[in-house]
């Protein structure tokens, strides 16, 4: 199978071929027909093909076609969803960086009283005064 045509249309073509084989008097088991269709899935369906191969429960051709239709519809809706939803980014331009530290609040406020606000307690780890640490 190829990726340019829908999977269901290609499966229908395979069904026509299988019907012609059956009309010639050659009988193929249902599990063989299912295996042929699974093997002929396009390369982009690799994950779904592996999923179908590892299923424990056997399915007939009609059940497989139903699953293929569902998967194809899901893939179509994902493609439509991805096209309408663009990847958007916000670009933030930063100004020139400075080495000055930012000061919060008024810069002139309490400049002389910084020495009075120092903690004058003892260290919790060693018990020494902060001036000795």
Is residue 115 predicted with pLDDT exceeding 60?
no
Of residues 52, 72, 74, 75, the one with CA closest to residue 64: 52
CA 110 to the chain's CA centroid: 55
Average pLDDT for the chain: 77
What's the rounded mean pLDDT across residues 72-82? 82
If one compares 91 and 10, the residue with the highest pLDDT of the two is 10
Of residues 61, 79, 80, the one with CA closest to residue 69: 61
Give pLDDT, residue 86.
55
What's the rounded mean pLDDT across residues 33-46? 87
Domain residue extents for the chain = 7-80
């Amino acid at each position: 199978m190829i990726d340019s045509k829908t999977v269901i249309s290609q499966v229908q073509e395979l069904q026509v071929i299988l019907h012609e084989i059956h009309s010639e008097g050659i009988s193929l088991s249902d599990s063989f027909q299912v295996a042929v269709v699974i093997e002929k899935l396009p390369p982009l369906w690799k994950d779904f093909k592996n999923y179908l191969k590892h299923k424990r429960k056997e399915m007939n051709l009609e059940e497989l076609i139903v699953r293929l239709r569902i998967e194809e519809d899901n893939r179509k809706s994902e493609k439509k969803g991805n096209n309408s939803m663009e990847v958007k980014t916000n670009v933030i331009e930063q100004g020139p960086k400075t080495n000055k530290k930012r000061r919060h609040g008024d810069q002139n406020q309490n400049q002389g009283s910084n020495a009075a606000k120092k903690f004058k307690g003892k260290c919790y780890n060693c018990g020494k005064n902060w001036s000795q640490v």
